[in-house]
Amino acid sequence: MSHSGDREEGTTASKRSLLEGTAASKRSLLEGTTASKRKRRRVHQERPDSPVPSCQSEKDEHTMGRPIDFREGDLSSEQGVRPERPDSLVPCCVSMKSGHSMGLPEYFRKGEQGVHQERSDSPVPSCVPMKSNHTMERPVSFGEGDLSSHQGRVQHEKSTQMKFQTVLRPHQDIKTKLGLKYQHLSEGHQGKRTLVKDIYTDLYITEGGSGWINEEHEVRQIEMAFKRENTQETTIKSNDIFKPVSQQQWDNTKLRGLRNLTKGIAGIGKTVTVQKVILDWAEGEANQDIDFMFPLPFRDLNLIKGQYSLMQLLSLYFPELKEIDSIEDDETKTVFILDGLDEYRLHLDFKNNQKCYDVTESNSVDVLLTNLIEGNMFPSALLWITTRPAAANQIPPECVDQVTEIRGFNEAQKDEYLRKKITNPNLANNIIKHIKSSRTLHIMCHIPVFCWISATVLEMMLKQEEKDEIPNTLIQMYSQFILIQTSVKNKYNKATETNPKEPSQTDKEMILKLSKLAFQQLQKGNLIFYEEDLRECGIDVTEASGYSALCTEIFIEECGLYHKKVFSFVHLSLQEFLAAVHALESCLGKEEHVFPPKAVTQSPFHCDDVEDNDDGDDVEVRKPDKLYDLYRRAVDQALISKNGHLDLFLRFLMGLSLKSNQDLLKGLLTQAGSTTQQNMETLKRTEKYLSDKIKKESSPERTINLFHCLNELGANSLVENMQITLRSGILSEAKLQPHQCSALTYLLLMSEDVLEEFDLKRYNRSAEGYQRFLPVVKNCKRALLSSCNLNYESCKTLGLALQTSKCLLKELDISYNHLEDRGVELLCAGLTSPICKIQTLVLARCKLTSKSCETLISALRTPNCLLRDLILSYNHLEDRGVKLLCAGPATPIFNIRTLDLGHCGLTEGCCLYLASVLRSPNSQIKKLELRDNDLKDAGVTQLSTGMEDPNCKLHALGLSGCLVTEEGCASLASALRSNPFNLRELDLSYNYPGDSGVKLLSAGLDNLQWRPEKLSMDHCENDRLKSGPRKYACDLTLDLNTAYTHLSVSEENRNVTFSELQPYPVHTERFDYWNQVLCSEGLTGRCYWEVERNGEVVIAVTYKGISRKGKDDDSRLGYNDKSWSLDFYDNRCFAYHHSKKTSIPDPASSPWPNRVGVYLDWPAGTLSFYSISSDTLSHIHTFHCTFTEPLYPGFWVGSDSSVSLCQVK
């Protein structure tokens, strides 16, 4: 039997099964209808005090059928009322005005079981007419009941039965209609339609995504996804798209129907997936709990003008619904499928569109859509929206319960599709082998449409006796595709072909018209277009239908009123290729520019004389070069785009500038008429223009595309030079220019290898260079971005990276950057993405406040959040921040394993919240760092109440420098006696436990149950009970053997002044050029000192190995990799390390105070400077690095200047 025969037989069987199942399911009628009464809140509220309500809708003149009038007691059969309907005292309550109008009752569903168990034996038959002996209702008992109550129940049964029969017919008719419509799939061949079940291959669908717009071109997104290794993700089968994945989504569905947003790049298979889901439902293979599916493609909605009610709009697509008033109630399960949001040409204005709750109220289509999406109409309905990523942010986040993403084919699915498509096994193997040999084709074939294009071209070419060169690039593939499809069209139309391998003049004219259409619609951002768009390009609609392989034709047959055609190219990349053909041919053949001159000035980097300055020549003097002008304007236009929609167009245009690629189109393009030398000159100037733009362009994504353009021209010198530098191993020593950073970024992103670690400081030391490297984090597992002068704007790039498909980044260290709270907010947009893999996040000293705690908790609440280690030290979070982190019985902080809150301005007030987390059975915290907070004994006592709880899982606790005395130690010892099984590390250094405290805790070393692996109680003196870094004060003296000969050291070697020549003896450690001096003490651990400065001075620390001879930078404090300095001169302040200069903003109370505090935390790798005014410390700057040797304080002293070491009190 044919496939179509199978399909018809299956449909008939589906109908028969449905009717039989429907009769059987009526057993729950009495219980179901009683429960439904309780649900219909709106019906009860609107009902007047009358046993006979009116069912007429006054607002809608299209209300289906006249209501029944009971005023005279005469029950007549009017339009919309079945003639065979029995008399009833209770009218049918079907009303288009009611938000809970009766749809399909509960007994219409499958899975209603348990009625047989409750059924009582009775000789009284059911009062509901039955056609099946399997559909007996629960009988009515008259033992103790009231007769009138029984009559009312019987009347309601009859009313519900009538409604069931009324809704059943359109339900099954719509199923049959959609089954016939979607059972075939057209892949571009004229006259050939394939059964979906014969060709459909499951796609890779994952939970995940966010509302942010990815600024990469979609082809670039698929390139990035291709090289990711397999990761654990929540995959979803297409027929499970209406099922909630997380508990939060289940909770949302209790209030409204699930709203699913599915993203996917152009051609990835969104529409085909929708088609397959609808077909499986219509044929009874899946989702049979759903009563109605209403596909409303956005490309069709573009055609609908005027105002309609939602029911009228549905009736345009499904005239079968005219038989009923409404399907809106809590019992009918309805799905609205809005496919192709990116194709909608109107703006969905959720903010300003009027609210509409009545399905019978007429409005414009966009108003109906916003209210349907918001849940104002059909709140119980399920909603499925599909879109390209660039349009996803049109839908407010609160209107979306679940975000999914279609990734296209994985490797196995791609091979499966090609073997289905190519029935000859040997030929299929050869095609798969060739695709895998070309990186470009292999990547692009993850897109199903491109996989079909490749299969079509390669099958045709490999079958030919005289084989042309097999395509390896996109330009080669699309050039052959156009020629092959033109040939197929001519063969189908039985046209005479003088040369089958070259298009006729008529074909050329038609292709160029389509190319013009492609360019015009690409500029507007349109992927679909209509008859009027074709006519603007001189295309006859009937003629265009002959090119259905290039321009797929979709007839909206089901609309009834609108037999208009909708057109689109088979894939966006083909449209971009043809757009490039049009741009080039317009310049060559018509000598017209597709980009007007004024368009160039829109570029933020272009002015009229840019090209003059770059080339060193005057454009007006130089002979006009129309092709170079085209390329220059195209580059500028592509750089303006915010989402990169012209990126691939530009790459195609650059590639088509080569004669070898122009020859592929078999004379389709007009010959340039210029000499080889002129062509070389044009390409050379274009290459230089692209290189100059790379130096100036700030967007990392746009810059990467410019490198792709250079690659199309074969101009890879910049990248090749960077490859040599990379292999040489001297990259960390090189001072890269920003454009070199971009070249290296391009190399790292193009590599198929995933970086285990990416240390940004290794590659560059400039702020602009750091910014250009940020996209690389998508291609690594561990990113170290600390102390890289990043700011909150950098977090947007990082946030986008975290939500990139299959991004493998697990550890992100972005500490010691001025991110501020708004930066964390931008970063969390990526952390909330379900596909984010971040497990460790380091945000130490990022100028955060308690507001960031609230943002982070919101991110941690995201279902499937993997974040386990959170480092927030050296931020001004205070107790309020801890309260926000720990608030609530199910706080997300329970999932964190490591929490670092060191030096966050905390007091004993935060310990109550931390204790509540520690004692929770859900808490997973194993390491808690609280050092350098003024917790005192009261706070430690509070904390101990949580530690003594058996639920506490804490393995390591850091309380160093927390002002703890013997009282706090006693509380800790008591807690450890109560719960000795988990804690293995306890740091109480830099406190004052006293002898008794030391004795109590030291006893734990002999406790067989506790057995701590590390108990730190060093540096425990009485003077540690000071707030802030002053508890770490140390005594310093100046080393006379290092002092420059014009520096005078006095006051017991604690003061140094610039002076006349001093009679110092010659010494190998003395500075002989720079007026500098070091201290005698080499420092490790935690140390703090204060200096009083006068005039121009430099306050520094250095390794002892710094050079002492000559005037080179290796002997100058702050100008080499051995020293770090804070410089004061000209009433300004600068930080220096390895000649890298950081300007420090002037203080609010200018000038800078003369007293400066320095805090060295050698083990933590931090060196901080503070200005001191009125005994208050204000942070100036912090260096962060890994120290490897003891550090010696040092000073540079200018003329008429001095430095004194102060006594810290």
The sheet carrying 1140-1143 orders its strands as 1076-1078, 1192-1197, 1097-1102, 1123-1129, 1132-1137, 1140-1143
For residue 580, pLDDT over 50 is answered with yes
Identify the domain boundary among 1025, 1042, 1063: 1025
**Per the domain annotation, does 242 fall within a domain?**
yes
Q: Are 205 and 219 contained in the same domain?
A: yes
Question: Residue 265: enclosing H or E segment and its boundaries?
Answer: none
How confident is the model at residue 491, as a pLDDT?
Answer: 60
1191 in Cβ contact with 1162 (< 8 Å): yes
876 in Cβ contact with 848 (< 8 Å): yes
How confident is the model at residue 105, as a pLDDT?
Answer: 33
Q: Can you read off the two tokens belonging to residue 401? A: 């319960």
**Per the domain annotation, does 785 fall within a domain?**
no
DSSP structure class, residue 792? T
Q: Which residue has the higher pLDDT, 200 or 269?
A: 269
Q: Which residue has the higher pLDDT, 675 or 647?
A: 647
How confident is the model at residue 731, as a pLDDT?
Answer: 62
Sign of CA dihedral 721, 722, 726, 732: positive
**Per the domain annotation, does 784 fall within a domain?**
no
**Per the domain annotation, does 170 fall within a domain?**
yes
Q: Are 402 and 465 contained in the same domain?
A: no
Cα-Cα end-to-end distance for the chain: 98
253-303: pLDDT as tens digits: 554 578 899 988 887 888 888 999 999 999 999 999 998 999 999 988 888
**Per the domain annotation, does 137 fall within a domain?**
yes
747 Cβ contact list (under 8 Å, min separation 6) = 719, 722, 723, 726
Q: What is the rounded average pLDDT of the residues 778-804?
A: 87
- The share of the chain scoring above pLDDT 70, in percent, equals 73
pLDDT band at 548 (very low <50, low <70, confident <90, very high): low
For residue 381, pLDDT over 50 is answered with yes
Q: What is the rounded average pLDDT of the residues 944-952?
A: 94
Q: Are 254 and 306 contained in the same domain?
A: yes
Identify the domain boundary among 657, 683, 699: 657
501-515: pLDDT as tens digits: 677 788 888 889 989
Q: Are 1076 and 1182 contained in the same domain?
A: yes
985 Cβ contact list (under 8 Å, min separation 6) = 955, 956, 957, 1012, 1013, 1014, 1015
For residue 424, pLDDT over 60 is answered with yes
Beta bridge partners of 530: 566
Count CB atoms within 10 A of the CB of residue 1172: 17
Identify the domain boundary among 150, 178, 206: 178
**Per the domain annotation, does 789 fall within a domain?**
no
Q: Are 1039 and 1173 contained in the same domain?
A: yes
- The pair phi, psi for residue 623, each rounded to 5°, is -60, 130
For residue 843, pLDDT over 80 is answered with yes
pLDDT band at 581 (very low <50, low <70, confident <90, very high): very high
473-527: pLDDT as tens digits: 888 888 888 888 777 666 655 554 545 567 778 888 888 998 999 999 998 888 8
Tell me the three state secondary structure of residue 1020. coil
Q: Which residue has the higher pLDDT, 117 or 623?
A: 623
Q: Are 1010 and 1033 contained in the same domain?
A: no
**Per the domain annotation, does 149 fall within a domain?**
yes
Q: Which residue has the higher pLDDT, 1083 or 681?
A: 1083
Residue type, 850: S
Residue type, 866: L
**Per the domain annotation, does 761 fall within a domain?**
no
CATH label of the domain that carries residue 234: 3.40.50.300
Strands (E), 89-243: 184-185, 194-195, 205-207
How confident is the model at residue 545, as a pLDDT?
Answer: 61
Q: Are 1093 and 1159 contained in the same domain?
A: yes
1071 Cβ contact list (under 8 Å, min separation 6) = 1042, 1043, 1044, 1077, 1108, 1115
Q: Are 55 and 172 contained in the same domain?
A: yes
How confident is the model at residue 1064, as a pLDDT?
Answer: 95
Q: What is the rounded average pLDDT of the residues 1034-1046?
A: 97
How confident is the model at residue 713, as a pLDDT?
Answer: 87
How confident is the model at residue 42, as a pLDDT?
Answer: 36
- Of 50-59, 70-79, 1085-1094, which one has max mean pLDDT? 1085-1094
How confident is the model at residue 1024, as a pLDDT?
Answer: 86
How confident is the model at residue 603, as a pLDDT?
Answer: 35
DSSP of 1099-1130: EEEE-TT---SSSSGGGSTTSSTTEEEEEEET
CATH label of the domain that carries residue 981: 3.80.10.10
pLDDT band at 882 (very low <50, low <70, confident <90, very high): very high
Q: What is the tally of structural domains in the chain? A: 5
Q: What is the rounded average pLDDT of the residues 730-754?
A: 75
For residue 584, pLDDT over 80 is answered with yes
Q: Can you read off the two tokens belonging to residue 510? A: 């038609």
Q: Can you read off the two tokens belonging to residue 352? A: 């300003």
Q: What is the rounded average pLDDT of the residues 1069-1083?
A: 97
Q: What is the rounded average pLDDT of the residues 994-999?
A: 90
CATH label of the domain that carries residue 1082: 2.60.120.920
For residue 138, pLDDT over 70 is answered with no
219-255: pLDDT as tens digits: 555 555 544 444 556 678 888 888 876 555 455 555 4
Range of the domain at 496: 425-596+623-657
Count CB atoms within 10 A of the CB of residue 615: 16
DSSP structure class, residue 1004? G
How confident is the model at residue 235, as a pLDDT?
Answer: 76
Q: Are 1014 and 912 contained in the same domain?
A: yes
How confident is the model at residue 489, as a pLDDT?
Answer: 64
Q: Are 978 and 1097 contained in the same domain?
A: no
For residue 1170, pLDDT over 70 is answered with yes
Q: Which residue has the higher pLDDT, 1070 or 715?
A: 1070
Q: Are 174 and 185 contained in the same domain?
A: no
Q: Are 469 and 564 contained in the same domain?
A: yes
How confident is the model at residue 57, as a pLDDT?
Answer: 37
Whole-angstrom distance, CA of residue 1100 vs CA of residue 1138:
13
Beta bridge partners of 1203: 1056, 1093
- Of 117-126, 318-327, 593-602, 960-969, which one has max mean pLDDT? 960-969
For residue 553, pLDDT over 60 is answered with no
For residue 183, pLDDT over 60 is answered with yes
537 in Cβ contact with 545 (< 8 Å): no
Longest dimension (CA), the chain: 128
DSSP of 466-477: S--PPP-SHHHH
